[in-house]
Amino acid sequence: MLRSVFSTRISTLTPARAFSTHIQPPKTPVNLGHLSDNAGAVSERTRVGRGPGYGKGKTAGRGHKGQKARSGNGQPVPWFEGGQTPLVRRLPKRGFYNIHGKDYQELNLDRLQHWIQSGRIDASQPITMKQLLDSRCIHKIEDGVKLLSVGAETFTTPVTIEVSRASQKAIEAVEKAGGKIVTRYYNALGLRSVVHPEKFAQLPKLAAPLRKEEIKYYSDPKNRGYLAQEA
């Protein structure tokens, strides 16, 4: 009885295998063409708006009009205030954006002195904006570098430095220590060629200032402008 139900037999010849199951061969040949998903595993995509015969034509299951019948996710944008004047339009503006403004990276003399004393900058060589950036004395350069006078009373190292702008007290402190300072104009391309010369097969010619205010600044000996020295 058990042998007919489970199709098993007890092997007395091989003790390691107490059971052996008879595998019934398939009645029909099996190939890759017989493989398929389980019933209901894949459902067809519902195509809407294809005529009344499909069952999802006309309003495509959305009903008539209303916000939920419109295209999109049916929800307004998060900043929608129901149709009233939004907050960004109710409040007035303050200030303005100066299209001619420059974003100079500020560098104080006390930080420059600390970098020199710690050996990160060689004071015996001319200091340019590339040396300042490579030594991480400054971390970015947008439109140039401006030297400021914080720590002027402790600045004692003679240096030759070239920056975009410098305050009068910073100029006095550098020259009092026996150094030399030059302010030079750079446009975006010229500044990039100075900071990253390895990115150019041939270095471009440095552009001259065009705006009156910049020409006046770099032509003034009081600002140690490079145009004043060339003249």
pLDDT band at 17 (very low <50, low <70, confident <90, very high): low
**How many angstroms separate the CA atoms of 195 and 217, rounded?**
23
Tell me the pLDDT tens digit for each residue of 87-113: 999 999 989 989 889 999 999 999 999
Kindly report whether the global pTM for this prediction surpasses the value 0.75: no
**How many angstroms separate the CA atoms of 69 and 65, rounded?**
5
Class (C level, CATH) for 105-230 = alpha beta
Q: Where are the domains of the chain?
A: 105-230
Tell me the pLDDT tens digit for each residue of 150-179: 999 999 999 999 999 999 999 999 999 999
Q: Indicate left, alpha or beta for 9 from its phi (over 0: left) and psi (-120 to 50: alpha).
A: beta
